[in-house]
Amino acid sequence: MPNLAALADTLRAAFDLPFDEGQALERTRFRTLLDDPRSKALRYAFFAEREAARVPGLAKDTPRRAIARVAVIGAGTMGGGIAMCFANADIPVTVIEQEEAALTRGLDRIRGLYDGSVKRGSLTAEARDRRVALIEGAIGLDRAAAADLVIEAAFEDMGVKREIFGTLDRVAPDAILATNTSYLDIDEIARATTRPERVLGLHFFSPANVMRLIEVVRAEKTAPEVLATALDLARKIGKLAVTVGVCHGFVGNRMLARRGRAAERLLLDGALPHEVDAAVTGFGFRMGPFAMLDLAGLDIGWRVRKATGGSAPIADALCEQGRFGQKTGRGFYLYPEGARAGVRDPEVEALIAETAAAAGIARRAFSAEEIIARLFYPMVNEGARILEEKIALRASDIDVVWLAGYNWPAWRGGPMYWADRIGLPVIVEALDRLAAETGDETLRPASLLAKRAAEGGGFTG
Residues designated catalytic? 203
The 10 Å Cβ neighbour count of residue 285 is 18
Angle between helical axes of 415-422 and 395-405 (0-180°, round to 10): 120
Q: CB–CB of 213/243 below 8 Å?
A: no
With CA atoms as reference, report the closest residue to 188 among 220, 223, 145: 220
Angle at 72 between CA 251 and CA 191, to 5 degrees: 60
With CA atoms as reference, report the closest residue to 283 among 162, 414, 170: 414
Determine the number of helices (DSSP H) and then strands (DSSP E) in the chain: 20, 8
With CA atoms as reference, report the closest residue to 234 among 206, 256, 207, 201: 201
Distance in angstroms (rounded) separating the CA atoms of residues 181 and 219: 13
292-to-77, 148, 263, 331, 364 alpha-carbon distances in Å: 17, 36, 12, 11, 24
User: Exposed (0-12), middle (13-18) or buried (19+): which is 15, by Cβ within 10 Å?
Assistant: exposed
What's CA 206's distance to the chain center, in Å? 8
Distance in angstroms (rounded) separating the CA atoms of residues 204 and 184: 14
Q: CB–CB of 288/260 below 8 Å?
A: no
User: Exposed (0-12), middle (13-18) or buried (19+): which is 277, by Cβ within 10 Å?
Assistant: buried
Q: How many residues does the chain have?
A: 461
* Amino acid letter for position 121: G
Q: CB–CB of 7/30 below 8 Å?
A: no
